[in-house]
Amino acid sequence: MGSGHAHGTDLDVPARTTRLLTIAAVAGAVVTLVGIAVLRVSPDDTTLGVPGTLAERIDAEVRSVDLADCPGQQDAPEGTGERCLEIVASPLEGPDRGRPQTIVLPDLPTSPDLDVGETIVLGYEPSAEQGFRYSFLDRQRKPVLAWLVVLFAIPVVVLGRSRGAAALVGLALSVVVLLTFILPSIIAGRPPVLVAIFGAAAIAYLALYLAHGFNPMTTVALLGALTSLGLTAALAHLFVVLTRLSGFASEEAILIQLSIGQLDASGLVLAGIVIGALGALDDVTVTQASAVWEISGANPTLSAGELYRSGLRVGRDHVASVVNTLLLAYAGAAMPLLVFFVVSQAGLADVANEEVVATEIVRTMVGSIGLVAAVPITTWLAARVAVIGRPRD
């Protein structure tokens, strides 16, 4: 065999090394599947009694929106009664299809600004009294979201071709794991951290192997991601306990807790940290493994130590950008809350001490530590395998 450069996944990894990597990957897959089998619950066990969640959802077309006196306020002196939005909408499906229904909402700054002809979602409760069976739930956004998904998928497939299509399949399967295993198991009272770890491991297997193929480089990235994921989970547990995060920083968490008494709210925070860190871990580990493979192919004379140091230099730049990305992503999601604290003129330390902000700080810091740790772990393993797998003369 010639001494030309190897490229990408083309390093000639010896059968023994490939076998060891395969054994490690298969062992991890077996453990993951066993964990999922033990923790998984039937979707029927996760029905919640949260107000509005059991109502049948029906699309309706807005016929008119008027500002009128609220029910019971008609006899109040002019200008003193409360005002309400009177929405007339015709269901597009269901038993009252085509028959206009009237929904009354308080006239508040948070009330929807609806247009005539717009499609909205109504909640339908057949057991309620006549006149109270329909309630406003939300705007109908599914058509726009569907077009956005198509707009996202086209460039991914055009640029990535078969790998891009495989990555989209991995993304879809990740959503399936989230909706059919992680969320139902947590709702049913299974330990959130264990559920998150096994669910995240399953997603890592699907996402990495589908997008990058079954080869030693992908297996190295996977092992690096799983190791870093375990470290992230351990640190998340430690700092959630030390900061005594209750998990009740949002109204949604309180509502869910009232509906599901057995839910471990602080464990839910832990699970969120683990799942949130996974995407960035996959990115970092694949990049590091690929960088080491390319460096080794470009300069086959480098030793494992030299490869490790070269890969680490690439990793430093990547970590700096990814950590900043994590921080800005969390800050963007919490923008309304941050605006509230700025308006209240609270000090930076006082803002950080608030549980809702402290939760995001723990999430960002722990996730970033896991990312930083993933770089040397993956780079070291990739350097060892790359040196062993260099083309032979």
Q: Is the dihedral of CA 33, 34, 39, 40 positive or negative?
A: positive
pLDDT of residue 302: 85
Rounded Cα gap, residues 285 and 217, in angstroms: 10
Residue 293 is predicted with a pLDDT of 86
> Would you state the pLDDT for residue 83?
81
pLDDT at 140: 92
In tens digits, the chain (393 residues) has pLDDT values of 333 333 445 556 777 788 888 999 999 999 999 999 999 987 655 554 444 445 688 999 999 999 887 876 655 555 556 788 899 999 999 889 999 999 888 888 888 889 999 999 999 988 888 778 898 989 999 999 999 999 999 999 998 888 889 889 988 999 999 888 988 888 787 888 889 899 999 999 999 998 888 888 899 999 999 999 999 989 988 888 888 877 666 555 555 655 555 666 777 788 888 888 887 888 889 989 988 988 888 888 888 888 899 998 888 887 777 777 767 776 776 677 677 667 766 677 777 777 777 887 888 888 888 888 999 999 999 998 888 765 554
pLDDT at 3: 36
Residue 70, C-beta contacts closer than 8 angstroms, at least 6 positions apart: 81, 82, 83, 84, 104, 106
Please identify which residue in the block is written with the tokens 């059968």. 15
HSE at residue 302, side-chain half, CA atoms within 13 A, is: 23
Q: What CATH code is assigned to 56-140?
A: 2.40.50
Query: Taking the domains of the chain in order of start, what are their residue ranges?
Result: 15-41+158-388, 56-140
pLDDT of residue 118: 93
Cite the DSSP H helix spans in the chain: 15-39, 142-177, 183-187, 192-212, 216-242, 251-259, 265-298, 304-333, 335-343, 348-353, 355-388
